[in-house]
Structure 1
Amino acid sequence: MAMELDHYCPDCDGEQTFYRAASTKVHLGEKVKWHCPNCDYGFVRIGDNGTAVDSSAT
């Protein structure tokens, strides 16, 4: 269970280290909320890395 994730932040316009804000188990897998420490941007990822649903995807 990672507590940090390197990910692109559109508000900061660059790669940032996001911090795990919350997580819970749902029927699709684990739902994890990630937040950027430099701004208010956050996103949700559900499931495993190979089959994840990512709210930050365009």
Structure 2
Amino acid sequence: MSMERDDECPNCGEVTFYRAASTTLHLGEKVKWHCPNCDYGFVQIDGIDTNAIEA
């Protein structure tokens, strides 16, 4: 998996997220993504991420 991900940040509009951490769980690989511009972050587990969930 790459160290960068192109996606729009909902806080600041930045288009590049950086991989902050990753680990393997029984559900799949857990990856934390981080926006360098505003410190917004989200978690992705086995291809499903919390960035897609709206409050």
Per the TM superposition, whether the score is higher than 0.5 is yes
Shift of 1:10: 0.8
Return the structure number with greater strand share.
1
Percent identity, aligned pairs only, is 72
Q: Aligned pair count?
A: 53
Instruction: Find the counterpart in structure 2 of residue 5 from structure 1.
Output: 5
Tell me which residue corresponds to 1:56: 51
Deviations 1:13-54 (A, max 9, x none): x2511000000000111000000010110000000xxxx221
- Structure 1 vs Structure 2 CA RMSD: 1.1
Structure with the larger helix share: 2
TM-score (norm 2): 0.86
Provide TM-score, normalisation by structure 1: 0.82
Say whether residues 1:18 and 2:17 are aligned partners: yes
SS in 2 for 1:8: coil
Structure 1 unaligned blocks of 5 or more = none
